Structure formats: structure tokens, C-alpha cells
């Protein structure tokens, strides 16, 4: 079943440096199935036109496709309507949109925004930038030693500060730990003081069911390129009741229905928030990728089958290092908590960008290990994965990360882990 899915991805048939190509950098971006690639070609060879403007066939058709893509996303995450879906370039743009609209409208000096210690930089730095203009406090839900979030800390914060807690914005699945947070509970606590709730679904959107009603978030972001779709595409979901009242971040064409020297009127939702010519091809192909994933999930028998498959591979991966002292997994050892991502350190080695962490003076340079993996055809990631505060908290330098996609198999894991063992042996000798 999963082998048939794998065959749909042409890039995986390639070799690299004459070696097997093993792609384990799916948390950074996913590869694309042939049908998604074909949809791109079809759009640009037969359907390209600007939307919502031209009275001619191609433009009318492109407009319909653009609107259908919004429908596909809405139905995938169980939103009420396509009007709640705004297309953007990626999760980062989505988060910056929310910070610069809701952040500006809801926050005053002394208010509190809650994020967590395992956020991606896009859900940290965007708030820090807004702090240059509004003097609100940015509080981090601590990550406990078992690597779960400290929900009691949040309860306590909310109890002490009540409605001063205005926004709670957290990641669904950590791109380093692979852990899925209990966001349902976090948002329930946030709602007890009417805080606005934001979910960063960048990693979860392709790894588990993301159902906005069950999760109970007011807004959500994800990137198209992490869900087997194109780069430059992504979406924000936001409840209609909020979007209706919200002032757009950007003004220009498309977001207005009327302009005079004295003022303007807004276009309908969601176009009110999509100023200028968007990435039409990217958005339409994102719709196709979402449809592809929806069908694939149905065909394999549901999300649980995909989760079991990925967790089985994670278990297999971690087993390859049983009894190996130098392999230091950075994540929960309970595999049922892990979704698609394995970050780790190699004791005795440091990697690019290493700061002053434990044992740095006695460590060897790990770049040779990375290079050996590279020339052996293994695609992986090294660094802080845009989650530097999380690494700092545990005094851990840059980590290596293997991350899975729907097409990875045991053979990939066996190959990559063998190469890693060889690389470390070479590094030690
Ligand atoms: C959890 C998380 N949030 C946000 C992002 C940002 O995504 P993008 O670079 O597509 O904007 C990433 C990217 O890795 C991520 O893993």
C-alpha cells in the first residue's frame, strides 16, 4: 500500500552521487507526487490567467479553480466555509499576518501573549517584532523534562492574570521533538478567559487529522510545501466571526469592491485579505495536493494507518541505535507521542552553528559526518531547526534530524542509519 504511494513520487526514483537517494528532510519540505507536478504543468500550459477580473473564459476558469482550492482546504480542516480560508505564501507569512492583524487589534501595554518553549522562530520572532511597538508580555509555556508542555503552568497563569491573557499561540507538532501537544486542552484553558487562539499546524497538517472544530482554535496556519504541494503556497484559517470584524493587513487591488478619493469598500471574504495578484498557480496546485492527500488518507484506511506506519518507522529507526552510547535522541522515547520527526545528537561531536554548550571544548567537528551522509545520498537536516530556544533550554547544541514523509520505508531507515554509523566510526578513527 505505502509502496504504491511511494511510486507516485518521481524524485525518489533518482540516485544521488551514484548512490541510493534517501529523503529524510520532510519536516523541512515534502516531495511532490506526479499528479501534483502534472497539475502545475497543466495550469501553466493551458489555464494561466489572472483571477476575479477578466470577463474571458480563461480568467473565469482560473477564478473558479482558485475558489475551489479554498473549498478543498476548508473541507480538509473541517472549516465552515471557504470564506474562512486566506491563501498566503507559507506558515511564516500566516503567523506574521495574524500577529500584525489580531496582535495589533487585541493587544495593549501590559497584556499577555502565550506561546511555548518549543515554538518555531516564526511564532516567536513575529511577536518580538510587535513588542517593539506594543509593550505586551510574551510568556512561554515551559517544556517539562518529559518534553511535554506544562499545562498546569498555563492554568496558573490564566488564574493569576485572567483576561490580561489575550492570545495563546502554540505549535501542534514540534518540528524538533516530534511531539504532538494537547492543544485541545490548551485552547480550552485559553478560552476560559476569552483569549484568541492560534494553532501552528505546519508539521501536523500532513501527519494527522487537523480538524479545527475538534481542536477548538480560532485561527490556524500551514504551508503548502509541507503537505506535498508547492512552495510559495499556504493558508490561514480563521473563524468568520473574527474575519468579519478584522481590518486587513495589506491594501490594494482585489481586497476592495469600490474605491474613490474619499475612501473604499471591502471585497467579500476571504478576498478582503488577499490583496494583489496572488500565487494563482501555486494556490490551485495546493488545492490539488490537498485533494491528493485526502484521497490517499481515505485509500489507506484513515489517518491512524498513516500514523501507525510513521510511528512504526520511528520505532525501527530508534531500535537501530539500541545500546549505542553516542546516539542521543532529543525527543520523547514513548513512540506513541512521536509524529514523523527524530532529532538527535552524536555525543562527542558538534555541528555547524554550535554555541557554548556542554563539553564543547572536548568535542570533535561533526561536519565530516554530515558530508559523509550527503555524499551517500541521505538528505537530512542539521542545526537548530528554527527552534533555538528549545535547544538552549536543554543545553543542547545543533541537532541532526531525520524526518519522515508518507513514502519513506524501512529500507530508507536502514540505509540512512547504517551510513550514519559508518560516518561516526570514520569520525572517531
Ligand atoms: C512548526 C513549524 N512552524 C512554522 C514553520 C515555518 O514554515 P515555513 O518555512 O513554510 O513558513 C515550520 C517550518 O519548518 C515549522 O516546522
- What does the pLDDT look like over 380-419, one tens digit per residue? 999 999 999 999 999 888 999 999 999 999 999 999 999 9
Q: Residue 354: pLDDT band by 50, 70, 90 thresholds?
A: confident
- What kind and span of H or E run contains 240? helix 240-245
pLDDT of residue 366 exceeding 90, the answer is no
Q: Which atom of ligand 1 is nearest to the CA of 93?
A: 11
Taking CA atoms only, the protein residue closest to ligand 1 atom 14 is: 28
pLDDT tens, residue by residue, 17-45: 889 999 999 999 999 999 999 999 999 99
pLDDT tens, residue by residue, 224-240: 999 999 999 999 999 99
Which of 7-16, 137-146, 198-207, 353-362 is the least confident region? 353-362
pLDDT of residue 427 exceeding 90, the answer is no
- Is 202 touching ligand 1 by the criterion CB < 6 Å? yes
Say if residues 345 and 399 touch (Cβ distance below 8 Å).
yes
Q: Which of 120, 199, 235 to mutate to test the pocket of ligand 1 (most atoms within 8 A of CB)?
A: 120
Instruction: Please tell me the pTM assigned to this model.
Output: 0.97
Among positive and negative, which fits the CA dihedral 285, 219, 278, 268?
positive
- What kind and span of H or E run contains 71? helix 57-76
CA–CA gap between residue 230 and residue 29 (Å, rounded): 9
Q: Distance, CA 169 to ligand 1 centroid (Å)?
A: 14
- What kind and span of H or E run contains 263? strand 263-266
Q: Identify the CA nearest to 242 among candidates 192, 287, 195.
A: 195
Which of 146-160, 286-300, 349-363 is the least confident region? 349-363
- Is 171 touching ligand 1 by the criterion CB < 6 Å? yes
| Max Cα–Cα distance, the chain, nearest Å | 75
Contacts of 54 (CB under 8 A, 6+ apart): 60
- Is 203 touching ligand 1 by the criterion CB < 6 Å? yes
- Is 111 touching ligand 1 by the criterion CB < 6 Å? no
pLDDT of residue 183 exceeding 90, the answer is yes
Q: Which atom of ligand 1 is nearest to the CA of 119?
A: 1
Would you give the distance in Å from CA 14 to the centre of its chain?
26
- Is 169 touching ligand 1 by the criterion CB < 6 Å? no
Catalytic residues: 386
- What kind and span of H or E run contains 67? helix 57-76
Say if residues 226 and 171 touch (Cβ distance below 8 Å).
no
Q: Distance, CA 297 to ligand 1 centroid (Å)?
A: 22
CA–CA gap between residue 22 and residue 1 (Å, rounded): 19
pLDDT of residue 357 exceeding 80, the answer is no
Q: Which atom of ligand 1 is nearest to the CA of 28?
A: 14
Written as one string, the DSSP assignment of 332-390 is -S-GGGB-SEEEEEETTEE-TT--S-TTTTTPEETHHHHHHHHHTTEE-EEE-TT-HHH
- 138 C-beta neighbours (distance < 10 Å), count: 14
Would you give the distance in Å from CA 324 to the centre of its chain?
31
User: Structural domains in the chain?
Assistant: 2-24+302-428 (3.90.1150.10), 37-294 (3.40.640.10)
Q: Distance, CA 202 to ligand 1 centroid (Å)?
A: 5
Q: Distance, CA 323 to ligand 1 centroid (Å)?
A: 33
Q: Give the β-pairing of 112-116 and 165-171.
A: parallel
Q: Residue 86: pLDDT band by 50, 70, 90 thresholds?
A: very high
- Please tell me the predicted confidence (pLDDT) of residue 53: 86
| Torsion (CA) 59, 60, 63, 65 in degrees, nearest 10 | -110
Helix ranges (H only) for 99-233 are 104-106, 125-131, 151-161, 183-191, 212-215
SS3 call for 195: coil
CA–CA gap between residue 40 and residue 322 (Å, rounded): 44
- Is 92 touching ligand 1 by the criterion CB < 6 Å? yes
Q: Identify the CA nearest to 365 among candidates 397, 403, 390.
A: 397
CA–CA gap between residue 322 and residue 306 (Å, rounded): 25
Q: Which atom of ligand 1 is nearest to the CA of 385?
A: 14
- CA-CA distances (angstroms) from residue 202 to 129, 171, 208, 209, 318? 21, 8, 11, 13, 24
Q: Which atom of ligand 1 is nearest to the CA of 223?
A: 10
Q: Distance, CA 214 to ligand 1 centroid (Å)?
A: 22
Peptide bond into 70 cis (omega under 30): no
Q: Distance, CA 283 to ligand 1 centroid (Å)?
A: 18
Amino acid at each position: 500500500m505505502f509502496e504504491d504511494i511511494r511510486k507516485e513520487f518521481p524524485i525518489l526514483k533518482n540516485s544521488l552521487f551514484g548512490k541510493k537517494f534517501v529523503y529524510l528532510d520532510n519536516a523541512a519540505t515534502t516531495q511532490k507526487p506526479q499528479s501534483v507536478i502534472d497539475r502545475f504543468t497543466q495550469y501553466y500550459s493551458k489555464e494561466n490567467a489572472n483571477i476575479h477580473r477578466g470577463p474571458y473564459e480563461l480568467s473565469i476558469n482560473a477564478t473558479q479553480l482558485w475558489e475551489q482550492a479554498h473549498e478543498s482546504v476548508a473541507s480538509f480542516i473541517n472549516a465552515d466555509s471557504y470564506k474562512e480560508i486566506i491563501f498566503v505564501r507559507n506558515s511564516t507569512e500566516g503567523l506574521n499576518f495574524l500577529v500584525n492583524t489580531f496582535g495589533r487589534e487585541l493587544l495593549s501595554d501590559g497584556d499577555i501573549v502565550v506561546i511555548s518553549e518549543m515554538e518555531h522562530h516564526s511564532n516567536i520572532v513575529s511577536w518580538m517584532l510587535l513588542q517593539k511597538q506594543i509593550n505586551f508580555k510574551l510568556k512561554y509555556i515551559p517544556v517539562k523534562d518529559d518534553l511535554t508542555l506544562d499545562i498546569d503552568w498555563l492554568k496558573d497563569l490564566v488564574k493569576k492574570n485572567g483576561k490580561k491573557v489575550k492570545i495563546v499561540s502554540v505549535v501542534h507538532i514540534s518540528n524538533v521533538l516530534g511531539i504532538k501537544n494537547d492543544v485541545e486542552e490548551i485552547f480550552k484553558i485559553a478560552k476560559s478567559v476569552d483569549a484568541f487562539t492560534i494553532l501552528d499546524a505546519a508539521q501536523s497538517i500532513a501527519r494527522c487529522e487537523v480538524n479545527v472544530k475538534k481542536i477548538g482554535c480560532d485561527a490556524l496556519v500551514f504551508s503548502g510545501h509541507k503537505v506535498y504541494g508547492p512552495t510559495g503556497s499556504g493558508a490561514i484559517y480563521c473563524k468568520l466571526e473574527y474575519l468579519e470584524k478584522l481590518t486587513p493587513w495589506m491594501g490594494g487591488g482585489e481586497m476592495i469592491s469600490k474605491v474613490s478619493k474619499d475612501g473604499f469598500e471591502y471585497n467579500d471574504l476571504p478576498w478582503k485579505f488577499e490583496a494583489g495578484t496572488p500565487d494563482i498557480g501555486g494556490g490551485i496546485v495546493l488545492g490539488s495536493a490537498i485533494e491528493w492527500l485526502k484521497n490517499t488518507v481515505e485509500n489507506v484506511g484513515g489517518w491512524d494507518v498513516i500514523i501507525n506506519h510513521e510511528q512504526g518507522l520511528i520505532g525501527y529507526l530508534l531500535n537501530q541505535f539500541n545500546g549505542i552510547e553516542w546516539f542521543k535522541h532529543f525527543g520523547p522515547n514513548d513512540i506513541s507521542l512521536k509524529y514523523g520527526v527524530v532529532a538527535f545528537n552524536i555525543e562527542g561531536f558538534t555541528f555547524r552553528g554550535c554555541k557554548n554548550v556542554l563539553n564543547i571544548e572536548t568535542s570533535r567537528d561533526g561536519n565530516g559526518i554530515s558530508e559523509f551522509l550527503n555524499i551517500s545520498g541521505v538528505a537530512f537536516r542539521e542545526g537548530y531547526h528554527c527552534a533555538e530556544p528549545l535547544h538552549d533550554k536543554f543545553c543542547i547544541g545543533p541537532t541532526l534530524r531525520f524526518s519522515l514523509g508518507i513514502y519513506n520505508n524501512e529500507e530508507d531507515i536502514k540505509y540512512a542509519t547504517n551510513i550514519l554509523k559508518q560516518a561516526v566510526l570514520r569520525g572517531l578513527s
